[in-house]
Structure 1
């Protein structure tokens, strides 16, 4: 099957130089990444950890024409089509891939990503180029984190939270995948519809190495693919006016540790960024495990940053809505933008890309005797490596070839990590439902 697409708004106004550059990029070593991301967004709703082998006859080409650009799809997934024509939302996601993978790759190839200021400015520029930095008079964007592998009752709960937020005119930003990323968007869409809100925002932030396992769900109407996990995490906290954390696995723990490491920075002590952990009554054990791990490793100050509000969507939504006034007042008092939190201090250790190789995972400083922000950064990297070994193509391959990642450190800390990770495994939070989990890590507890 061969389908030719005319670009939608925005990409139909490219110059011939821009078209030539995109076409050249699509035939460069970047092509494999481009094809993989394009396949993921075309196969929306496909919840699998192994996407590419199922569609090995798929291909995509960019064709230069006098009037601009055409997109050629060869054997696209049926999920992308209705009666032989591509779904509009799916084509929007596909054009986001072209924009963020091909266009941005050349635009930022000379950016010094070891420079903290340049990193923050580049993330802003990527978001602005994607038209997601929008003028607003009142903060209203709620970032929702949680697992792609959650129980049915937890999924229903995330939808109810989204619904209550939507009824109160709040918008949603997630990692854009299934599970706890899809539920809040779906609920908010219904809430917005009831309130006749026609410009509801369902912002999905992802990155290339994870997009196959967490392909954009069909509710996402603004998709941005950041260069790597660190840029994605910074984008989340820069655009967030509040953060809600649902039950999840290693990826959610990574996000939480990243957030806590930043908020523990003394420069961020006055920041107003509400953090709520919530889920149904049956998820209390999960939150108890998380709270205990946070307090026993990062201290009471870190634990006090978290507000646990189980089993009460209305109360959670009311709390978040009320906090928007405080967020606005704080941003106004320091002269910061509502759309992008420039005043949030993020240390370089949280910005630099971490390669979860066996050598780098083994070299992590996992000892309690260090500043809490540095410990949080190391723990974040450890959980990031576990996510890579679980679902990212390169990480999964590395584990198959060399065996599990080895994590070594302070015996007390390693016991706490082992306990938390085993709880995730027992609760079925490390893989898609129905699949048996084979640990990609090994924790060394040396007395």
Structure 2
């Protein structure tokens, strides 16, 4: 069954307090542009059962009949959505209010994104900063510790509960802190759930003002990993590279829980950044955190050792134990950390970290996973390999299916290829990678 739905667009999230005629025209054009995928994205945002969806094709099929047009009412602008599946609405008639907030935030970031002030490698970081400023995230006075959390979308219950407990203890010890996650479910939701309880116990909202639950997403992944309902500040970046740079620059430190190919991609990106000589001496703690008895990061470190030997030593910390012990460790270290400024301009990003990797059959076959290169270059190529796996299994699985039984041949060092293939297969076996229709990997090695 289908119904009609009116969704108010919130000017305070997008432009100012009122839309001009030019804004309305820009909005109409942006909604109609197929490159923006607004029907698919809005469908994912209003789908109350978003936890059940991890494939953009499911959203595309479910909302294939939905149409969206602008409907001005008494000076306000609404989205008039027709042919909306009733089962995506919590009562068959309405959306939850947080979905309304998220839709306006997505319109701001996709249709009303600030224009790039310049081109070239030197300007990429400046443009990302302007993008974040445009959201209003950076203009809220003093902050305490801001920590990003990376980890899996699909995780076992015990891992979810550990991430939630860790969010609780860190917010209890540091009630002025805030979290940034990938905004979806699993590990991306758990820290917010834990912190929400801790903030209440510490009267954090009264003592320190509003505490944001910050979610960073990306245009191509949003429909498969729609934001959870706790996110109060949603930003949707044009590319995964811009999203990851913003994660790092908008945080004072970072931690990672177990996850899939996307989590490995993020870890490799961070290690590439920290390995740069220009960033030596800049304080930035990067922690791989797991509950006691876990072996995920032990096995990942073994993989890194096969690929890099001791070249990455000292760039990360592994914590396996209780959530309270890790939270106590972070709280102690934060006493000596300057958290006054939210945006870290000191870190230097090599253009190879920032350049978008366009996934194609040819670009995957062009990756070099040999040892005949510096560690930084191998980190970049491995990161692009895992980015390709994410793209083909989450963002655009139709591309993978279009190749039939053929797969791009990945070339490189025999031991690195074997270890990488073993890691991917292990993640798939653990349910951390979305399976393809043929249940074959997104690549082949010889």
User: Does TM, scored on the shorter chain, surpass 0.5?
Assistant: yes
Structure 1, residues 353-402: CA drift from partner, whole Å, max 9, x if none? Answer: 11111100100121122121111111100000001111112xx1121111
SS in 1 for 2:149: strand
Residue of structure 2 equivalent to 1:56: 64
The answer to whether the 8 Å contact 1:171/1:202 transfers is: yes
2:325 to 315, 321, 346: 315
Q: Distance in 1 between matches of 2:92 and 2:34?
A: 34
Residue number among 275, 298, 302 corresponding to 1:288 in the alignment: 298
Q: Secondary structure at the match of 1:344?
A: coil
Residue number in structure 2 paired with 1:183: 190
Q: Hey, what's the Cα distance between the residues in 1 that align with 2:66 and 2:413?
A: 48
Q: Does 1:360 align with 2:363?
A: yes
For 2:256 and 2:237, how far apart are their aligned partners in 1?
21
Indicate the SS of the match to 1:30: helix
What is the match of residue 411 of structure 1?
414
The alignment partner of 1:218 has SS state of coil
- Name the CA distance, whole Å, in 1 between partners of 2:72 and 2:313: 55
Q: How far does the alpha carbon of each residue in 1:421-441 deviate from its partner, in whole angstroms, 9 at most, with x for none? A: 222123222138xx9982332
Contact 1:389–1:440 at 8 Å: present in 2 too? no
The CA RMSD measured in Å over matched residues stands at 2.2
Structure 2 contact 143–342 (Cα < 8 Å) conserved: no
Aligned residue for 1:287, secondary structure, equals helix
Deviation at 1:252, TM superposition (A): 0.4
Uncovered stretches (5+) of structure 1, i.e. residues with no partner? 332-336
Indicate yes or no: 2:173 matched with 1:158: no
Among candidates 95, 110, 124, match of residue 86 of structure 1? 95
CA separation in 2, counterparts of 1:327 and 1:34? 41
Q: Secondary structure at the match of 1:300?
A: coil
What is residue 334 of structure 1 aligned with on the other side?
none
Q: State the distance in 1 between where 2:88 and 2:232 align.
A: 17
* Cα shift at 1:325: 3.6
Of 68, 73, 76 in structure 1, the residue corresponding to residue 81 of structure 2 is 73
Deviation at 1:59, TM superposition (A): 2.6
- Answer yes or no: is the 8 Å Cα contact 2:407–2:444 preserved in 1: no
Aligned to 2:202: 195
User: Which residue does the alignment assign to 2:310?
Assistant: 300
**Where do 1:217-232 residues align within 5 Å?**
217-232=228-243
The corresponding residue for 1:269 is 280
Structure 2, gaps ≥5 residues long: none
Write out per-residue CA displacement over residues 58-99 of structure 1, whole angstroms, 9 at most, x where no aligned residue. 232233567252221224454444573332211000101111
Aligned equivalent of 1:173, options 180, 194, 197: 180
Confirm whether residue 36 of structure 1 aligns to residue 40 of structure 2. Answer: yes
